[in-house]
């Protein structure tokens, strides 16, 4: 009998992933997580843009003053 450890590891991991991905509960959880991450990134980007504009306005005031 030939023993291929990486083959068996790959089959087990692939099987587990296939079972998890086909589960409605798991897919729903993954989608909720993705949507939450997207909202967080979007909000962070908006805050960063606002801070950038504030800093830019301060620099413009310093140049004029």
Domain ranges of the chain: 23-65
What is the longest distance spanned by two Cα atoms in the chain? Answer: 84
At 54 the pLDDT is 94
Tell if the pTM clears 0.75, that is, is over it. Answer: no
Task: State the pLDDT at residue 65.
Answer: 74
- Whether residue 27 contacts residue 21, with contact meaning beta carbons closer than 8 Å, is answered with yes
CA distances, 54 to each of 46, 63, 65 (Å): 12, 14, 16
Round to whole Å and give the CA distance between 50 and 56: 10
12-27 pLDDT, tens per residue?
Answer: 999 999 988 899 998 8
Per residue in 30-40, pLDDT tens? 899 999 999 99
């Amino acid at each position: 009998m030939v023993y291929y450890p990486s083959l068996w590891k790959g089959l087990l991991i692939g099987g587990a992933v296939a079972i998890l991905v086909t589960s409605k509960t798991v897919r729903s959880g993954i989608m909720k997580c993705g949507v939450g991450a997207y909202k967080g990134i979007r909000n962070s980007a908006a805050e960063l843009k606002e801070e950038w504009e504030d800093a830019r306005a301060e620099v413009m005031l310093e140049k004029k003053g």
